[in-house]
Amino acid sequence: MSAVEAATYKNYIGGQWVPARSGQVMESLNPATGAVLGLVPRSGPEDVDAAVQAAARAYPGWRKVPAPRRAEILFRVAELLVRRKEDLARLMTQEMGKVLAETRGDVQEAIDMGYFIAGEGRRLHGYTAPSEMPHKAAYCVRSPLGVVGVITPWNFPMAIPSWKILPALVCGNTVVFKPASYTPLLGLKFVEIFEEAGLPAGVLNIVTGPGGAAGNALVEHPLVRVISFTGSTETGLGLAEKCGRLGKRISLEMGGKNAAIVLPDADLQLAEDALIWSAFGTTGQRCTACSRIIVHQDARKDLTERLVERARRLRLGDGLLPATEVGPVVSDAQLARVHEYVQIGQGEGARLLVGGKRVTDGDLARGNFYAPTIFDEVRPGMRIEQEEIFGPVTDLIAAGSLEEAVKIVNGTPYGLSASIFTRDVNAAMEAIADIETGIVYVNHGTIGAEVHLPFGGTKQTGNGHREGGTQVLDVFSEWKAVYIDYSGRLQRAQIDRD
């Protein structure tokens, strides 16, 4: 499909589908084929301002809609997602590349989040407490904040927006959503479903465009009270600095350098299956991808042979094809970044066991395909052991004990996800206690979160907030303490005491 034939899409602002004020558009491309999927608005600060103003106008009315009624609309969103799951999954595979089984899972996560958050609309629990004074009631409730800016990445173009938009809305906020530049069509389709579900005009708005122009305008807009961002640590910390100066709340979900520990008593067949999935699922383009495999010396030879042989057999291709196991890297720029890290690893003295090159055989020449890559003899402190690559590359690191392995796990600036493979419950419990990450798996890889538990990390992976679980509601609400004195006289806490 040429750019001339591609469909043209619009922003959704104040209940209307409108082009960018400049009239400019940008392409959404299929990373497996290079085909143009559609043209979307190349929005600038003036479009962001219009969206924020629309959200601000809608906020007073939306915050007064009872939370159970807000939740009913979100339940309908989940129901519509169920009906559109296959179409959305196929579009997602075309727009960002991961295989169809994974994109179905991405949409399913949004469905799960819809049902979960809809249930919270009938709870949004505060709590009551006894007052220290007689004839006085004390309790607290959640209150919404106002306009929320949501900025999301391309690797989970429906799941991650659902983690942010749904809880923001159920709490009574209004939202301006800027999806990633690589996956704008999924963002627009997601918002269409909210419109169809009956969400009032202005409550959810979307502007597509580059992060530099549209993203910064959203962060800096004076009417935006909260920013929820998922992306690189470098970008996230820069946004945190801006929000700090502006007095805005910001929730950050950033990078990871996730590790799995494999002990000698592990089920190596299970470890093989889980680690191949963790390292090369989504072509390694997950914040939870397993990019470090810390293996005990006694299991090293067997596990290494298993992983290398399995990685060699992985089938690359268009994610819509049933035989494909690994799709393309999202862009030429990202592919170049992955290859640069492979060269860095070789320069540092790591031994390349498999992969390490772009794949251009046959139809693969049209897309951004990179061979699944495994390094051995990686030492703690190497750049490929410390820095997030965000591609199909993983490292093998030797350890002589559980204690040494845990030290290696904790030895990076990140702390998102980790796992351990062992049949020893004592070793598992020791690892759970000592690993410094927000998520720990036992006898599983480093990926596979469920929406009803908190998702997020420590250190430079985040800034203390969580997505998923009831904990996400804290990002999008304020606590209000309420005191009702029915004594009929002045009572001064901490002063009037018998």
Which residue ranges form the domains of the chain, and what is each CATH number? 11-254+462-481 (3.40.605.10), 258-442 (3.40.309.10)
CA 290 – CA 307 distance, rounded (Å):
13
What does 71-116 look like in DSSP terms, one character per residue?
HHHHHHHHHHHHHHHHHHHHHHHHHH---HHHHHHHHHHHHHHHHH
Q: 10 Å Cβ neighbour count for 83?
A: 10
Q: Which of 163, 199, 185 is nearest to 80 (CA)?
A: 199
- Residue 104 — left, alpha, or beta (φ > 0 → left; ψ -120 to 50 → alpha)? alpha
Identify the pLDDT of residue 211: 85
Identify the pLDDT of residue 1: 42
Give, rounded to a whole angstrom, the gap between the first and last alpha carbons of the chain: 82
Q: 10 Å Cβ neighbour count for 236?
A: 24
Query: pLDDT digits over 275-324, tens only?
Result: 999 999 999 999 999 999 999 999 999 999 999 999 999 999 999 999 99
- Residue 42 — left, alpha, or beta (φ > 0 → left; ψ -120 to 50 → alpha)? beta
Tokens 């679980």 -> residue: 469
Bridging pattern class, strands 414-415 and 458-459: antiparallel
CA 79 – CA 85 distance, rounded (Å):
10
Confidence of residue 205 (pLDDT cuts 50, 70, 90): very high
Identify the pLDDT of residue 378: 98
Look at 28 and 4; give whichever has higher pLDDT: 28
Give the whole-number percent of the chain exceeding pLDDT 90: 97
Is the pLDDT at 456 greater than 90, yes or no?
yes
> What type of residue sits at position 376?
D
CA 208 – CA 152 distance, rounded (Å):
11
CA 470 – CA 127 distance, rounded (Å):
14
As to burial, measured by CB atoms within 10 angstroms (0-12 exposed, 13-18 middle, 19+ buried), residue 481 is: exposed
Identify the pLDDT of residue 208: 98
Tokens 């720029």 -> residue: 333
User: What average pLDDT is seen over the chain?
Assistant: 97
Identify the pLDDT of residue 470: 97
Is the pLDDT at 331 greater than 80, yes or no?
yes
Query: pLDDT digits over 463-490, tens only?
Result: 999 999 999 999 999 999 999 999 999 9
Identify the pLDDT of residue 496: 86
Q: Furthest-apart CA pair in the chain: how many Å?
A: 87
Is the pLDDT at 396 greater than 70, yes or no?
yes
Average pLDDT (166-190) is: 98
Q: What is the DSSP letter of 315?
A: P
Query: pLDDT digits over 39-81, tens only?
Result: 999 999 999 999 999 999 999 999 999 999 999 999 999 999 9
Total number of residues shown for the chain: 498
Write out the catalytic residue numbers: 253, 287
Identify the pLDDT of residue 175: 98
* Contact yes or no for 406/440 (Cβ under 8 A): no
Q: Which of 78, 436, 487 is nearest to 256 (CA)?
A: 436
Q: Is the dihedral of CA 379, 403, 432, 264 positive or negative?
A: positive
CA 106 – CA 451 distance, rounded (Å):
12
Neighbouring-strand partners of residue 442: 420
Is the pLDDT at 188 greater than 60, yes or no?
yes
What does 24-44 look like in DSSP terms, one character per residue?
-EEEEE-TTT--EEEEEE---
